[in-house]
Structure formats: structure tokens, C-alpha cells
Structure 1
Amino acid sequence: MKKVVILKSENDNSEVYAALLQKAGFEPVFVPTLDFCFKNLDVLRDRLLSPYKYSGLIFTSPRSITAVRDALGGHRLKDDWKTLENYCVGETSHDLIQRSLELDTKGQQSGNASNLADVMKTDLYNKTITLPFLFPCGNLKQDVLQNKLSEYGYSMDCVEVYETVPHKDLERSLVNLFQDGSSPEFLLFFSPSGINYCAAIFERHKFDLSMCRIVAIGPSTKKAVENKGYPVHRTAEKPSPEYVVSALLDS
């Protein structure tokens, strides 16, 4: 079986990835890459108590969903949010929002923030939208979504609710993977921050990645990998187990 190293944050869908990869004939190895520190939850709580000030909520990461849940402190999200225009990226996030916040969202099939902006533009056509969208986000957020929505005539109230940091065991895990000169067949990177943290370790230990095939999840991650000087073998269009397995099978 070909070894596939999955470099991503720990979350609930790791078992789904493992099952599909094993079924497709791969040996998945998970390396927790990122960790997150939450902040400004009191600010977010105040925003969540005032749905009448917003056109809806936007989620582009599972951490933003967790931040909303934690900011609520065990209380339910106000029902008024359910009547607004709420959006997310990814089927996993869509399901998590339904389970933890009892909120329906649109746009989950978009795959990335840029596509979500286009989905929103189409969905909101002929609707009167004058209030901003509440956007819980991380410290490494890119401006693609905000810029495109601004271009389309919509505004966002961004609340930075978490910071991304390297996982405490990342360096040790990578050293173990590349010990004795061995290297895995595939490296899967799920975020620009993930490749940035890993690249620093690769360079520090002089790991040889020439025998590894790198698969990037989404265009932003692909660009980040290439900016570090590594070739991208395949790109999965969306951050879902099915798209990842499809990209690997095309290799």
C-alpha cells in the first residue's frame, strides 16, 4: 500500500478520510499540523446577540464554527439568525453547523472562499442586502472573500476569533517520518499555513522531498506550496475526502 501522509489539523472527519483512503488502497498516516488558540469570544458573543444588525453569517473554517459555539457558552443561537442569509465552505462545515448550531447554510459546495463569493452573488441577485455579514475568522485569513464581496456590493464585519500556530508535535512527527532516509509516497497539504510551517522544518533538517508526490487541497494551498519551491503533483479542488481520493487515484 502506498503511504499517504495527511498534514492537517485534527478534526472530526479524520476517520472518513482514513476509511476512504484504505478502501482505495492507500495507507493513511495523519500528522497533526496546526493548532488553534481562540480569542475575542466576548466580542463575538455581543455580535451574535444582535442578528438584526446583519444580513447573515459566513463560515469558511471549522474553527469559526467552534468559536461561535463556545462564544454562546451553551446557549442556543438566536432563532432570528435562521431567517437570514447564511453561508459556509465545505460539506463538513455545513454538517457541523447543522449539528452544533442548528443552523442551515448555503454555498457548501463552493469549495473555497473565492467560489463562495460567486455563489453568494448569484444567490443574492434581486435581494435587497444593505447590512453586513458577520464573519468569524482566523488571524491568517486571506482577503479574497472580503475583496470579491466588496466588489459585488456587500460588506463584512470580520471578527478575528482564533490564531493558527504549529502543532506542538509537528517537528517530531516529521523527523520520525523521514528517519533513515526514507520518505512517504504522498504528502497532502490542506492549507497555506500548513506548508509554511512544514517547509521550515524540511529546510532545517534538510529532508529530501524529491521522491514525494505533493497533493495540494485547493488553489491557495497549491500556490503556497509552489512559492516554497516544491512541485505540486495534483490538486484536489475541494477539501473533502472524495476529492482527495480522486486526486490520489489520478496520480
Structure 2
Amino acid sequence: MRVLITREKSQAEKTAKLLEKEGFEPVIFPTIRFEKVDFDEKAVLQADIIIFSSQNAVKFLFEKLSPEKISNKTVIATGEKTAKLLEKKGLKPLIPEIYSAEGVYKLLSKIPDLKNKKIAVIRPVEGVNTLFELMQNKTDIYPVPVYKTVENIPENLKEVKNLLSSGKINLVVFTSPSTFKNFIKIIDKSLLRNTKVAVIGTTTQKALEKEGITPDIIPSKFTMEELIKNIKQQLF
């Protein structure tokens, strides 16, 4: 059973190993890649609370800034793997019950004297603004973009088009709005009618639905492990 993975290459390779262990045949098709962008350290250091939106946010921030410089601040990770990466840096992050902007908002609401806190969100340039909309007028919250997501044209583009056209891809996985948006730039979205589609996260789900595509699989917990568990339940 073939599963097409659209995430960035190094992440796709890790996902491929998880899928192979479960008996799937992964096809790596990275529609995005990441590039670091310069940022102002002061924007991070002046914050009382620092939110990391992803593992990449951790990676690119600490290419420039030492973890020790934020060890006295409240740190929030939006998911388990992001939290583990922060722990490896010697930090002790808080984690929301639900890995989403709404989950982070609920967690922030429990912090005393929040209205007098400054919050920095470490994220990509093209990050979604849901959390900022939820926190509007409640505190000083601002983004600190540390990397950007750019379109990638995979070397196996022609091969994947043929596989999709002939119905030989059983499932396509989108892990972010960017993976999907760049996918439909290089491949006609009508080809997704020939396969099932899985997504991680409500933001990715909304990006697909905006284009008239309803995902077949959405895990309740937004992790790759949970997604693969759902795929096994529904496809096998």
C-alpha cells in the first residue's frame, strides 16, 4: 500500500521509516523546504513567555541564540516532539492538552497576570495567525519568524504524477497547509480524487477544505504516530 509523504525531505525520511515498520510502501515527495531568516534577538529576550510552534522553530532559533538566554522564561511547546527537542536544550516547556492554537490559548489563559506579559511566538514567516486572533487585546503577543517555508520541486515529479493518474497511490499525507498549497501548484488537485487523503491538524484540514477537498483521515491527536495508527485502522 503506497503512501505519498509531502513534508520536507529530512522529516519525510523519518516518516517513511515509521510507515515501513507498519508495512506501508512510502513515497517521499517533499513539496517544501526550509530556509533560515535573520531575526532580532531582542524580540525574543524581551518576552516573558516564548511559544515554539514547531521543531523547526526550535532548530532555527538556537542556531543564533543560546538556550541559556531564555532559561528564566516560561516556554511553551505546541507538541510532544517540539517539547522533547526543547528538553534536550535544557528547557522545561509547558505543553497544551490539544496541539493547536486553541490548545495554546487555553494553556495561556491559566497563566497569572497574563495581560502584563509579553509573548513571543517563534514560527515561520508564513505562520497562521489563529493564536493572535484569539489573544487580541488580551496581552502583548507578537511573532518572531526564524525561518521560511519555500516551494520545492521534487525530482520524482513525473513519476508521482503517473502514479496518481493511474490510482497507484493509496494515500497522500499533508502535514501543514504549505505542503498542500505547494502540492497543488505542481500537481493538479483533481488527481487527489484517485486516492485517499490524510492530514495532521485542523489548520491543514481547513486549507484542503478551502480547495473543495475533504480529508479522509484526521487524527484526534496531531502527531505522526497517531496518524499512522489511524491509517492502519482505516486502510487495512
Q: Same fold (TM over 0.5)?
A: yes
Matched residues in 2 for 1:227 and 1:242: separation? 26
Correspondence 1:145 to 2:131: yes
Aligned length: 231
Matched residues in 1 for 2:145 and 2:18: separation? 34
Question: Could you tell me the TM-score, scaled by structure 1's length?
Answer: 0.82
Alignment of 1:198-213 (within 5 A): 198-203=183-188, 208-213=191-196
Matched residues in 2 for 1:88 and 1:102: separation? 14
Residue 60 of structure 1: how far off its partner (Å) = 0.6
Matched residues in 1 for 2:51 and 2:142: separation? 10
Matched residues in 2 for 1:250 and 1:86: separation? 35
Match of 1:174 in 2: 157
Match of 2:48 in 1: 55
Residue 237 of structure 1: how far off its partner (Å) = 3.3
Matched residues in 1 for 2:219 and 2:5: separation? 13
Match of 2:42 in 1: 46
Match of 2:212 in 1: 229
Matched residues in 1 for 2:142 and 2:216: separation? 37
Give the letter aligned to residue 30 of structure 1.
I
Correspondence 1:193 to 2:178: yes
Question: Could you tell me the TM-score, scaled by structure 2's length?
Answer: 0.86
Residue 87 of structure 1: how far off its partner (Å) = 0.4
Matched residues in 2 for 1:86 and 1:19: separation? 30
Matched residues in 2 for 1:119 and 1:26: separation? 37
Match of 2:7 in 1: 8
The structure-2 alpha-carbon separation of the partners of 1:14 and 1:239, relative to structure 1 and needing over 3 Å to count, comes to farther
Task: Choose from 68, 72, 80 the match for 1:83.
Answer: 72
Match of 2:29 in 1: 31
The structure-2 alpha-carbon separation of the partners of 1:54 and 1:22, relative to structure 1 and needing over 3 Å to count, comes to same
**Root-mean-square deviation (Å):** 2.3
Residue 249 of structure 1: how far off its partner (Å) = 2.3
Match of 2:102 in 1: 114
Residue 146 of structure 1: how far off its partner (Å) = 1.2
